[in-house]
Amino acid sequence: MTRDLASPLRPRRRLRPARRVAMLSIHTSPLDQPGTGDAGGLNVYVVELSRRLAQLGVEVDIFTRATRVDLPHVVELAPGVLVRHVVAGPLEGLAKEDLPAQLCALAAGVLRVEAAHEPGRYDVVHSHYWLSGQVGWLAAERWRVPLVHTMHTMARVKNLTVGPDDRPEPLTREIGEVQVVEAADRLIANTDEEADELVQLYDADPARVDVVAPGVDLDTFRPHPRAAARRQVGLRPDALVLLFVGRVQPLKAPDVLVRATAELLAREPGLREHLQVVVCGGPSGAGLERPESLVSLARELGVDDVVRFQPPVPREELPLWYSAADLTVIPSRSESFGLVAIESQACGTPVVAASVGGLRTAVADGESGVLVPGHDPVAWAGAIGDLLASPARRAALGAGAARYAAGFGWARTAEMVADVYEHALEDARVPSAAAGG
């Protein structure tokens, strides 16, 4: 399956643009802090896409599960974007793995909002992750509008790359994903590789799969002077800084960075006085079972003096951390895209990333960063050590990183997604209620 990611979809005719979209992010709220719990790249995707769609004139209602008693029923995220909290199950203490039992309640909450308005409030349902897809499937059929779905991650892909401390995704998720793929009118994949996985692993119809790469906020994520950035985040001006940003869980493999750090120091003991490794994020998923395991690993390997554990920071502060780093390290075992890679590169900091999934699209190997096959800490130490020893190569990659990331603005992503909505409306299997069907 070959697609040109640089060429947006061209709608056959602009007769039925979407006016209002029901965006479903059931298991994680766009208001949550990315980098901890279940909040990550999906949250950023939903927020940024919704904002840019609203700027194009498409109103967006984001439905998510209420997790606190003090949450308002409706929150304005941005002009034209509302976050609607649906009550389903206990407000606190309910894990993502428990949500399948609440899908009926979640669907009822979503349907109740539309029922309070005149028929035809929504033109399209756009669901994110399989749990939202299950709810979206019912809502789209009830409202007689198209269902557009973005997987973000897939059980069958993750189960091919399960790490030693992780657990496989359950069969119930696999079955649920197959159902959503079959029900969706259009599927949005982040990369060509993800599109192929949908076809090969889930038997998706290639004609209903569109590739739209995520974006980056190029106004927020931009280079800052390194010395000033280091002063603001508390890093030494003369340090060699390696940065990990993301949820601390086996899937993201931060242990590979810690083990590679130990290997680097074993090879070059003199590096210890200069090296600073920052792990920025909080425990999530399987990482919640042993939240101190990475700290313990650093201590066991004798690198706890150079590894700094930083809690998740607000997104407006992240560009300072990227700009302060010499390299951003992304050793994930699976990634549907890798927004951290694009954010880092937009700040002019090259990336050392695993050669997996969407990272092969998010990083231009040898131009904006380096891709490392496998997860052997020895190989990672070699790749990182070579770059640390070559300031000139790091500078060249940093310049290439900024150029490469400039092609991933969210405005372009939103325009392409709006085109997908138009295709879905034109090709809808049933008449749209909004069109009087």
Binding site as annotated, residues: 27, 33-34, 38-43, 96, 129, 153, 173, 247, 252, 313, 322, 325, 335, 343, 349
Task: Give which of 231, 215, 218 is closest to 321, Cα–Cα.
Answer: 231
Contact 207, 184 (CB under 8 A): no
User: What letter does residue 28 receive in the DSSP assignment?
Assistant: S
Contact 334, 57 (CB under 8 A): no
Strand arrangement of the beta sheet that strand 369-372 belongs to: 307-310, 275-280, 240-245, 327-330, 351-354, 369-372
Residues in the annotated binding site for Mg(2+): 322, 325, 349
Phi, psi (degrees; rounded to nearest 5) at 94: -105, 115
Query: Residue 126 in 3-state DSSP?
Result: strand
Residues in the annotated binding site for 1D-myo-inositol 3-phosphate: 27, 38-43, 96, 129, 153, 173
Length of the chain measured in residues: 437
CB hemisphere CA count around 170 (13 angstroms): 8
Task: Give which of 31, 29, 34 is closest to 314, Cα–Cα.
Answer: 34
If phi > 0 it is left, if psi is from -120 to 50 it is alpha, else beta; for residue 285 that is left
> Which residues, in sequence order, are bridge partners of residue 149?
127, 187
Task: Compute the distance between CA of residue 275 and CA of residue 376 in angstroms, rounded to an integer.
Answer: 20
Residues in the annotated binding site for UDP-N-acetyl-alpha-D-glucosamine: 33-34, 41, 247, 252, 313, 335, 343
Task: Give which of 343, 327, 344, 338 is closest to 387, Cα–Cα.
Answer: 327
Write out the two tokens for 237: 């001006």
Write out the two tokens for 435: 């069109």
Q: How far out from the chain centre does Cα 248 lie?
A: 14
> Which residues, in sequence order, are bridge partners of residue 372?
354
Residues 6+ apart with CB under 8 A from 144: 430, 431, 432, 433, 437
